[in-house]
Amino acid sequence: MRHPTRPPLNGRSWLHRLLTAGAALAGTLALAVGAAVPAAAVPAAGQSAAAPAFNYAEALQKSLFFYEAQQSGKKPAWNRVSWRGDSALTDGADVGLDLTGGWYDAGDHVKFGFPMAFSATMLAWGAVEYRDGYVAAGQLPHLLNNLRFVNDYFIKAHPAPNVLYGQVGKGDDDHKWWGPAEVMPMARPAYKIDASCGGADLAGETAAAMAASSMVFRPTDAAYADKLLTHARQLYTFADTVRRSYHECITDATNFYRSWSGWQDELVWGAIWLHRATGEAAYLAKAESEYDRLNTENQSSTRSYKWTIAWDNKQFGAYVLLANLTGKQKYVDDANRWLDYWTVGVNGEKIRYSPGGMAVLDTWGALRYAANTAFAALVYSDRTTDATRKARYHDFAVRQINYALGDNPRKSSYVVGFGANPPKNPHHRTAHGSWWDSSKVPTETRHVLYGALVGGPSSPNDAYTDNRDDYVMNEVATDYNAGFTSALARLTSQYGGSPLAGFPTPETPDIDELTVETTVTQAEPRATGLKAIVYNKSAFPARALTTARFRYYFRPDGTGPVQVTPGYTQGCPSPTAARQHSGDIWYVEIDCTGHTIAPAGQSAHRMEVQFKIGVPEGGTWDPTNDPSYQAAAGPNRKVALYSAGARVWGEEPGPATPDTTAPSAPGRPVASALTATGVTLTWPASTDTGGSGLAGYDVTRTSAGSDPVVVATTTNSLTVTGLTPERTYQFSVVARDGAGNRSAASPTLGVTTPAAPAPDTT
């Protein structure tokens, strides 16, 4: 979820990000600059920063995994996230196109093309510079998989030279719902820019992403690299021609990812990447000719340096890239000034630092900004000939990445599933796994969103709360991880490390995902009234039931024809007839085909049906020997639930075998709320393995001079009343099952009631 942020400081209107819960976050993970550096250019371990404090290869491995958790559309076979499934398979249908694929932006499910393209550019940039780091960590195949996945989406989104679909999903509609991607209930309109209403920022960034990605694929798939370059060239020409902000055309993006810096930075940025990908001097000349129109500090001719590279503004990355590519002094000066502001300061001003060493640019997603700047600083440090700045920028970058990994006053990682005390409750709908359309149900996050970098402390005080609803500190996003991932590749190439073997371990369901709960609503001499509710709390992965049916099994007594009476239903038709299963076992079937039961809301995740089974007047009816009968309300494993013909819950009755196994003995009762005339008893529950199910308990009360009193209950607690003050009682409990088998008695509890309160005579 992205929400509006405060206006920019110092008149830098281009820095204001009208986001919804993580948009500001998106920019900070991303751009380091420069030409590819040969291995010899990477400083040897121990050059200036201390030896590795963390396993950077493991962090890189997990950071890439996060992108697979963000995938939209058909889940590819290589996707390693066991709890994700297919989602948003009709994206683009409203415009007659296949716009499936791509990445969900953050903890929401909108596909915002602008930050998505930036994230892809940043990931590709890291691979261009530090491919050896990916190879050393064994992560190059995973990087190529994820970059191809997002670029395949860009290809779909660019069906004509001057047409680019830049968003799928309506921001507000998406954000007001909280549930897994696989069962989204809302419409997902597609939005485009074209020749009549263009967007130089969006088209320019997508051109940069595809050009940078072409460089990554060139060594292994030249044909695909050429395809990406064709699209990149067309998109850049489109951007250069239209020279307009994309939010003017895709107006729904205005409150989320409006480019406050304008489109000039993308014209420079896109041209640089096309030059690097093609080697054509014309693109470098174009970048340099557009450079002087980049933003400056307020009421100054000095290039902006008090912000950083992020989804909105790429000019800081342009400083580094052009300095590295050309060596020209003006680019070197701009890069030095910017990185000095983040390290030692400029003219007495510099970025705020926390006591623990975190560079804090802004409240929203502060670690993202620090990580983006760290990556750019590493790229620049590897090429600069200024020995002082080389060490300064390198050490700054290592310090910021290490802070995120756990070298901070809290001694805690800010990367989910990595290091010590990592965040457990990122602001992420699918990872949370709610079935209730609520960020508070369930309490615990059901999945580990490995590798996701959270926003982190929002102020320079090192303070952080792992609160799912705090999207400022706890949202995650594709752009948060992009520069961070690239920096990890660089540190892996320098310091080494080892990826985890066998990662990831497939997750298993934390609860019964699909269940049927029954309640006896009417216990009549000739019939049993039942309420049956199907629950779908699936999250491994989440899935909708559209062909569900379930069966309730029973035994007619042979004293008359069975009557099935329909009752209230939430949607699925209530049964009207019974069918024979085998022998003397029959069933009623509730067929919910055509009705959707999905973990998508308070009503959406359940389907209730009521009915009555019995015999006509004059017949006899005993439900206690019915295979599906359960006296206590709750999940009933004797009711079989099917989806697409496969049984997904419950048991079918086998051949009739008498249950002669008694339940286990209850535990010793414990007394509470003792008064002169009453007491509450609670005891450890019995278990029943004979097949007929636990039916209830008989509590026996004895006292000297009185006959025993037996009280039945269906739960493992009982409130006893009517006792005599100052008298000793003995209590024991016996469990009974549905077949009438009785357990051994529990250990006896002795209780002496206190004296009655003195009467009030005042």
pLDDT of residue 758: 84
Task: Give yes or no: residues 415 and 480 share one domain.
Answer: yes
* Beta carbons within 10 angstroms of residue 520's beta carbon: 16
Taking the C-alpha atoms of residue 385 and residue 323, their distance in angstroms, rounded to an integer, is: 11
CATH number at residue 372: 1.50.10.10
Residue 607 has pLDDT above 60, yes or no: yes
Supply the CATH number for residue 552's domain.
2.60.40.710
Q: How many CB atoms lie within 10 A of CB 722?
A: 8
pLDDT in tens, 652-697: 998 656 778 999 999 999 999 999 999 999 999 998 786 555 778 9
Query: Is 584 a residue of the active site?
Result: no
Examine the domain organization and report whether 191 and 251 are in the same domain: yes
Q: Which segments within 83-224 are labelled E, that is strand?
A: 111-112, 164-168, 190-193
Question: Does the residue 151 lie in any domain?
Answer: yes
Give the C-alpha separation, 535 to 608, whole Å.
9
Q: Domain range spanning residue 271?
A: 56-495
Distance CA(22)–CA(427), nearest Å, equals 9
Contacts of 44 (CB under 8 A, 6+ apart): 494
Catalytic residue among 466, 507, 557, 652: 466
Residues 535 and 430 in one domain: no
Q: Decide if 108 is inside a domain.
A: yes
**Contact (Cβ atoms closer than 8 angstroms) between residue 70 and residue 430:** no
User: Average pLDDT, stretch 569-586?
Assistant: 91
Q: Taking 50 as the threshold, does the pLDDT of residue 374 lie above it?
A: yes
The residue among 495, 522, 549 that closes a domain is 495
pLDDT tens for each residue of 2-61: 433 333 333 223 333 333 333 333 333 332 333 333 333 344 433 444 456 899 999 999
Decide if 522 is inside a domain. yes
Shared domain for 621 and 731, answered yes or no, is no
Domain end among 649, 683, 698: 649
Q: Are residues 292 and 420 in the same domain?
A: yes
Residues 175 and 75 in one domain: yes
Torsion of CA 174, 178, 181, 184, to 10 degrees: -60
- Which one-letter amino acid corresponds to residue 470? D
The answer to whether 427 is a known catalytic residue is: yes
Is the Cα dihedral 689, 692, 693, 696 positive or negative? negative
Which is the catalytic residue, given 182, 288, 475, 688?
A: 475
Amino acid letter, residue 198: G
Same domain flag for 639 and 686 = no
For the stretch 726-747, pLDDT in tens is 999 999 999 987 678 999 999 9
CATH of the domain at 739: 2.60.40.10
Indicate whether 319 belongs to any domain. yes
Query: How many residues can be counted in the chain?
Result: 762
> Could you tell me which of 171, 182, 192, 173 has the C-alpha nearest to residue 89?
182
Shared domain for 629 and 723, answered yes or no, is no
Q: Do 286 and 355 share a structural domain? A: yes
Q: Is 7 helix (H, G, I), strand (E, B) or coil?
A: coil
Residue 4 confidence (pLDDT): 35
Q: Considering 108, 266, 382, 608, which one is annotated as catalytic?
A: 108
Residue 44 counted as domain residue: no
- Per-residue pLDDT of 449-494, as tens digits, reads 999 999 999 999 999 999 999 999 999 999 999 999 999 999 999 9
Q: Is residue 181 part of a domain?
A: yes
Active-site residue, from 3, 427, 428, 447? 427
Query: Quick one: 732 and 634 in the same domain?
Result: no
Residue at 352 is within a domain: yes
Dihedral sign of CA atoms 712, 718, 723, 728 in order? positive
**Within this chain, do residues 725 and 619 fall inside the same structural domain, yes or no?**
no
**Residue 386: band (very low, low, confident or very high) from pLDDT cuts 50, 70, 90:** very high
Q: CA torsion, points 64, 218, 379, 39, in degrees to nearest 10?
A: 100
Confidence of residue 141 (pLDDT cuts 50, 70, 90): very high
Active site annotation includes 466:
yes
- Is residue 639 located within the same domain as residue 562? yes
Question: Does the annotation count 182 as an active-site position?
Answer: no
Number of domains in the chain: 3
Residue 623 in any domain: the answer is yes
pLDDT at 559: 60
How far apart are the C-alpha atoms of 634 and 616, rounded to whole Å? Answer: 28
Point out the domain boundary residue: 589, 618, 649: 649
- Residue from 363, 257, 310 nearest 28 by CA: 310
Using only the alpha carbons of the chain, give its radius of gyration.
33
Whole-number pLDDT of residue 654: 80
